[in-house]
Amino acid sequence: MKIFYKMSLQQSTAGLEVRTDKYVSVHETECFHFCVHNYYNGLSYDKVKQRNIKVRRIDKRGSRFAFSTEKEAYANFLWLKKLQLNHLKRNIEKVNFFLSFEENKDLSGDFNCGLIPDSYKFSIQEY
């Protein structure tokens, strides 16, 4: 029985918590582990299917969902949070640019889609 780990950030009354969820393999094929949350540990694959419990398919070569060690799960968790922070920074820049433009309200464009002047730099960053 193989165990996989996934970390997430949870807010509680005490503060922010890094939560580690464990997923247990209930069925194994040549390429995949079919896993359920640790809460359902001990159930057979047939019982899991009968009860409509969510089964996660985890690739043996590598997974983006859960990892075989807690250290790998934590490294992926840090990477995801840094990525999320970069996306938030970019979105904050866009909103600030729009709010600074809001005073003029001179949108130009067709088809009910107004183009904000001098906003070309944001389209270059994303595409």
Alpha helices in 5-69 (DSSP H): 45-50
pLDDT band (50, 70, 90) for residue 18: very high
Per-residue pLDDT for 40 more than 90? no
CA distance 95 to 112: 20
Task: List Cβ<8 Å contacts ≥24 apart for 36-39.
Answer: 38/3
- Report residue 118 as tokens: 């001098």
Which of 48, 49, 75 lies closest to 64, judged by CA?
75
60-79 residue pLDDT tens: 888 888 999 999 999 999 99
This prediction has a pTM of 0.75
The kind and range of the H/E element at 58 are strand 56-59
Look at strands 3-11 and 56-59 and give their pairing. unpaired
Tell me the domain boundaries of the chain. 3-102
